[in-house]
Amino acid sequence: MKKIALVTGATSGIGEACARKLAENGYNVIITGRRADRLDAIAAELRTVGAQVLALAFDVRDREAATAAIEGLPDEWREIDVLVNNAGGAWGLEPEYEGNYEDWDTMIDTNIKGLLTMTRLIVPGMVERDRGHVVNIGSVAGDAAYGGGNVYCATKSAVKALSDGLRIDVAHTKVRVTNIKPGLVETNFSVTRFHGDKERADGVYKGIKPLTGKDIAESVYYAVSAPEHVQVAEILILATHQASGSVIFRK
């Protein structure tokens, strides 16, 4: 019987890459995101590799919609083995004292509260079955703040704390918890941060070969495919010329 993985924020970037990696390696996948048309297109592609795919269009910030989607799962999709809490992002790069209130709310509601909602909805079943794996997509930004990162860095610090806390809370079970902390990954991340300014976004990756969504998906798969007695608690993955969240050598 195939295992089931649920990936949030699966319409692009790291989330899409994780869904593809898991589908290609024998998982049936539930993909979630805000864009129904994009989810349907990805689902059709994943089915070509032999995976069963269920696409659920909702925003993790909408707790009622998320609850309805999970509680409404068909019986054959209920026993979720892997939860990849990927939905998230950064909005704005202003100094904290000039920050945009709406950007702050979006980051906190998505990166922290959305992750908590999905964890609360799915992990009780894992605990009851005494098996499962939660993978939270954090960031190197959660290790130390950088200029303009303030609230985003705080939300990813929260992801680390929530991952550590959950790992403690489920230590009496076989449920495992992993925090994946990427550095520079070239996805739609920077376009979102700069509110659609692609030229400014492209400058983030200038002079360095960044990571890709596929690189992060490989790390996710490494963690979930480890032997049952092995819990990969954290993975910090950086581009070769990136030493930390703020130290980058550019050619």
Beta strand 53-57 with 28-33 is parallel
Domains parsed from the chain with CATH numbers: 4-237 (3.40.50.720)
User: Given this model, what pLDDT does residue 196 score?
Assistant: 78
Name every residue whose Cβ is closer than 8 Å to that of residue 210 and which is 6 or more positions away in sequence: 183, 184, 185, 186, 239
User: Given this model, what pLDDT does residue 192 score?
Assistant: 75
Q: How far apart are CA 154 and CA 228, in angstroms?
A: 32
**Percent above pLDDT 90 for the chain:** 90
Q: How far apart are CA 156 and CA 150, in angstroms?
A: 10
Q: What number of residues does the chain have?
A: 251
Write out the H or E segment, with its range, that includes residue 124: helix 115-129
Phi, psi angle pair for 31, to nearest 5°: -110, 135
Tokens of 76: 């054959």
Q: Which residues are designated catalytic?
A: 152
- Cβ of 199: how many Cβ atoms within 10 Å? 7
The answer to whether residue 23 scores a pLDDT higher than 80 is yes
Average pLDDT for the chain: 95
Q: How far apart are CA 123 and CA 125, in angstroms?
A: 5
Q: What is the pTM of this model?
A: 0.95
The answer to whether residue 127 scores a pLDDT higher than 90 is yes
Please report which confidence band the pLDDT of residue 27 belongs to, taking 50, 70 and 90 as the band edges.
very high
